[in-house]
Amino acid sequence: MSIDSLLSRLGRVKDNGTGKHIASCPAHEDRSPSLAIKECDDGRVLVHCFAGCETEDVLEAVGLSFSDLMPERIGSEQVIKRTRWINAKDALSTLDHESLVVSIIGSDFLEHKDIDEDTWSRLAVAVNRINKTRAVYAPARIGR
């Protein structure tokens, strides 16, 4: 599973540096993002709730398990993916969700509604995720 698959299941996600994100914790009522997510160089995804939720509870709330946060292994050797790959179902789910976010924010913009900083940040996250997903499934790669 890619980190984008996890992030697409969380709310109020913000980039917090390369491979680092913060989001609302799905395991408790979270008024401000308290969940830290980090992708390690070896492919592991680390999750920590600063409000004290157990990682297992966080993962259960989004339908995942610890094994979903670990890179693939073949025998006793870890497979480190140099190029990110998103399975088609996750890619379509991400594109669907993020395009909806862009559509809603774009509609508000066209109606001259006030858009706060958090909403602009969420739009930037959506555009970034759409572009990353498109890069994996660029037309030159489809059909190969």
- What is the pLDDT, as a whole number, of residue 33? 92
- Pair 74, 7 in one domain: yes
- What is the pLDDT, as a whole number, of residue 15? 87
- What is the pLDDT, as a whole number, of residue 13? 92
- Pair 72, 92 in one domain: no
Q: For the stretch 38-48, what's the b/e string if a residue is b when 16 or more beta carbons lie within 10 angstroms of its beta carbon?
A: bbeeebebebe
* Residue 111 backbone dihedrals phi, psi, to 5 degrees: -90, 10
Q: Number of folded domains in the chain? A: 2
- What is the pLDDT, as a whole number, of residue 52? 94
- What is the pLDDT, as a whole number, of residue 17? 79
* Residue range of the domain that includes 120: 88-136
Q: Is residue 51 part of a domain?
A: yes
- Pair 59, 9 in one domain: yes
Nearest to 6 by CA among 41, 53, 44, 32: 44
**For each successive 10 residues of the chain (144 residues), what is the average pLDDT?**
83 87 94 91 88 93 87 54 62 89 94 92 89 70 45
Whether the model clears a pTM of 0.75, i.e. scores above it, the answer is no
The answer to whether the CB of 105 falls within 8 A of the CB of 144 is no
- What is the pLDDT, as a whole number, of residue 74? 47
Q: Is residue 144 part of a domain?
A: no
Structure tokens at 128: 């970034």
